């Protein structure tokens, strides 16, 4: 593909090795009635410091945290008082094991007024990402009537219809690969990174049926061995593989590299990539123009008002899901119901606000504790990875909206229960107290009629339930706070609701701490630094090439290479570049 290949750098010739004198590592120089659940800059209040146990207690509004409630009757009452129920979704939120006080809640209700107003303005189309001058419209994707302009509503609706129609035609065999013995597409290879991969991966793991019409694989890195492995696993089914390339610009290096590698595999197999390629990208991007000129099978839009980490309800997540037989309209419906539930300005009746409030309490509003996500369901294994990007890329910011240095953020990690009770629960209960936990519980173990007793009155799922509740109790008994989110079963509707719940919680928390949740300057800085390394590598190659062309070959020391690159200050990086190449 000519328009992209100019961005590709070839490996050095083996003959260049003669130009480098043998390298040695550089020397170092001397850090009681209830349902039973199993932008305009917002007005900002100064952070509320909550724990007198912190080393920094210089704030005037320090509020000492009380001991957690241990009396069983008082705990039961607190559970009933604070249990949130969304009956249409079968979703419950229990914050009773977080030790916030009535005084704290009263203070936060005032703070949330500004957060609710900022969210209302965002949904109406205000510039909620001021650093990039953009609207933030991922909520419109599941309710197009919210979009501020008719053209946007039409675009959202037409794109959804096109996704459903295309997926139906692929699954039915109406759209088929040109040279596959199977006579239809059997595999999906998704090429993307960050939000273009994590969302689709989570949805596939959570919702894909046991025998989907098309199985999905992901190339989500620029690791050659990883790419080779995915292509090798396809084997002869490469001829029946639909390749979906996801990149807003088309110039994201990792995605571009994956595309070039896949295209080479197609050429080597004598296949026509264009007849099996699909682009999801912004209109008139490099990728869009390439797909149009080369006649790819289909193109679907990405929008500048939807960030990567909130794009799972766009074509980015919906197309791969639909091709796997997942009901994407149900996923959108679940998200829309949750969006409506989280618009209320009643703190106690807004589950996203309750989450944001608990995060603020647990981390002192400055990220002082980590968020550990523990889903007790194998199909939700990737939820913690998905939330890691959603939360950390949104909230991890150096500056607030007023330009003050704040270094905000919440660290997120996790895996699944009960597996990780045998990994890091020991430290969570008895080690350093630098976290709060979130348990994700699923009530239905198996489809109705499929459970059986391992022993009298006890199923395999009962053990999982016991492990969750036991771990929650053991942590709380030792002063460890936790949140519990319960859903009845893992369905497209409940997964859509979970995604929407956390998207809104992140937006509200960002308003509480006065940061822009919708840009990622740190990521861009990393990309810029990587580009500088590659540019330096080209200069190193040029110097070595010139030396290798002399007769005899001119040997060069590391210092001499750095001088000829006009970068003596980059000698360590030049050493690493040469070590990598040779």
Choose the catalytic residue: 87, 422, 450, 550: 422
Q: What is the DSSP string of 171-226?
A: HHTSS--SS-TTSS--EEEEE--THHHHHHHHHHHHH--SS-SSEEEEE-S--HHH
Q: Closest Cα to residue 570, out of 537, 544, 527?
A: 537
- Nearest of 321, 53, 370 to residue 200 by alpha carbon: 321
Please give the backbone phi and psi of residue 62, each rounded to the nearest 5 degrees, phi first.
-65, 130
Q: How far apart are CA 112 and CA 93, in angstroms?
A: 19
Which residues, 6+ apart, have CB-to-CB distance to 305 below 8 Å? 134, 135, 136, 137
- Give helix then strand counts, H and E, for the chain: 18, 13
Q: What angle do CA 524, 528, 532 make, to 5 degrees?
A: 170
| H or E element in which residue 505 lies | helix 492-512
Cα–Cα distance for residue pair 526/452, rounded to 1 Å: 52
Alpha-carbon distance values, 134 to 128, 248, 420, 459 (Å): 7, 15, 41, 52
Tokens of 380: 């939700």
Among the options 109, 527, 560, 576, which is catalytic? 527
Identified catalytic residue from 44, 65, 377, 393? 393
> DSSP letters along 358-408, please?
HHHHHHTTTT-SEEEEEESSGGGTTHHHHHHHHHHHHH--SB-TTS-B---
CB 78 within 8 A of CB 69: yes
Strands 370-375 and 298-302: unpaired
Q: Token match 């759209």: residue?
A: 175
Cα–Cα distance, 116 to 512 (Å, whole number):
10
Assess whether 87 carries a catalytic annotation: no
Q: Do residues 63 and 104 lie in contact, with contact meaning Cβ atoms separated by under 8 Å?
A: yes
**Catalytic residue status for 527:** yes
422 is catalytic: yes
Q: What are phi and psi of 195, to 5 degrees?
A: -65, -20
d(CA 261, CA 266): 9
Catalytic sites, residue numbers:
393, 422, 527
């Amino acid at each position: 593909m000519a328009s992209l290949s100019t961005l590709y750098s070839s490996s050095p010739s083996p003959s260049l090795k003669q130009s480098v004198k043998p390298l040695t590592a550089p020397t170092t120089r001397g850090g009681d009635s209830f349902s039973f659940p199993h932008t305009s800059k917002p007005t900002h209040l100064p952070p509320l410091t909550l724990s007198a146990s912190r080393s920094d207690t210089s704030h005037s509004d320090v509020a000492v945290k009380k001991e957690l409630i241990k009396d069983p009757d008082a705990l039961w009452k607190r559970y009933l008082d604070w249990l949130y129920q969304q009956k249409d979704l079968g979703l419950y939120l229990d914050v009773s094991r977080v030790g916030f006080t009535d005084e704290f809640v009263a203070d936060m209700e005032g703070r949330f007024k500004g957060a609710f107003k900022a969210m209302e303005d965002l949904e109406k189309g205000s510039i909620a990402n001021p650093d990039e001058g953009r609207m933030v419209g991922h909520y419109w994707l599941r309710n197009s009537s919210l979009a501020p302009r008719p053209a946007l509503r039409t675009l959202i609706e037409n794109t959804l219809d096109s996704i459903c129609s295309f997926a139906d035609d692929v699954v039915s065999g109406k759209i088929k690969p040109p040279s596959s013995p199977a006579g239809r597409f059997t595999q999906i290879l998704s090429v993307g990174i960050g939000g273009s991969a994590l969302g689709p991966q989570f949805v596939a793991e959570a919702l894909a049926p046991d025998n989907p019409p098309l199985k999905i694989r992901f190339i989500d890195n620029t690791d050659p061995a990883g790419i080779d492995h995915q292509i090798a696993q396809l084997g002869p089914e490469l001829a029946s593989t639909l390749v979906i390339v996801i990149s807003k610009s088309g110039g994201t290096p990792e995605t571009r590299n994956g595309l070039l590698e896949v295209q080479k595999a197609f050429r080597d197999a004598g296949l026509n990539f264009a007849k099996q390629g699909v682009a999801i990208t912004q209109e008139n991007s490099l990728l869009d123009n390439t797909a149009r000129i080369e006649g790819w099978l289909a193109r679907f839009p990405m929008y500048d008002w939807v960030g990567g980490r909130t794009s799972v309800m766009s074509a980015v997540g919906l197309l791969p899901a639909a091709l796997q037989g997942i009901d994407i309209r149900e996923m959108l419906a679940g998200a829309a119901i949750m969006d409506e539930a989280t618009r209320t300005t009643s703190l106690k009746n807004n589950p996203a606000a309750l989450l944001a409030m608990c995060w603020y309490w647990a981390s002192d509003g400055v990220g002082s504790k980590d968020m550990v996500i523990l889903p007790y369901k194998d199909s939700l294994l990737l939820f913690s990875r998905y939330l890691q990007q959603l939360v950390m890329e949104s909230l991890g910011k150096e500056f607030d909206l007023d330009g003050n240095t704040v270094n905000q953020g919440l660290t997120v990690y996790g895996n699944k229960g009960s597996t990780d009770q045998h990994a890091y629960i020991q430290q969570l209960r008895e080690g350093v107290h630098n976290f709060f936990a979130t348990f994700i519980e699923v009530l239905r173990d198996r489809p109705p009629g499929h459970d059986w007793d391992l022993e009298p009155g006890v199923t395999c799922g009962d053990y999982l339930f016991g492990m969750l509740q036991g771990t929650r109790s053991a942590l709380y008994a030792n002063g460890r706070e936790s949140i519990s989110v319960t859903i009845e079963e893992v369905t497209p509707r409940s997964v859509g609701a979970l995604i929407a719940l956390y998207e809104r919680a992140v937006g509200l928390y960002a308003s509480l701490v006065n940061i822009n949740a919708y840009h990622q300057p740190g990521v861009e800085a990393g990309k810029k630094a990587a580009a500088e390394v590659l540019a330096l590598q080209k200069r190193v190659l040029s110097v070595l090439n010139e030396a290798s062309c002399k007769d005899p070959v001119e040997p060069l020391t590391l210092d001499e290479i750095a001088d000829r690159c006009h970068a003596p200050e980059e000698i360590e990086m030049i050493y690493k570049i040469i070590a990598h190449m040779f």
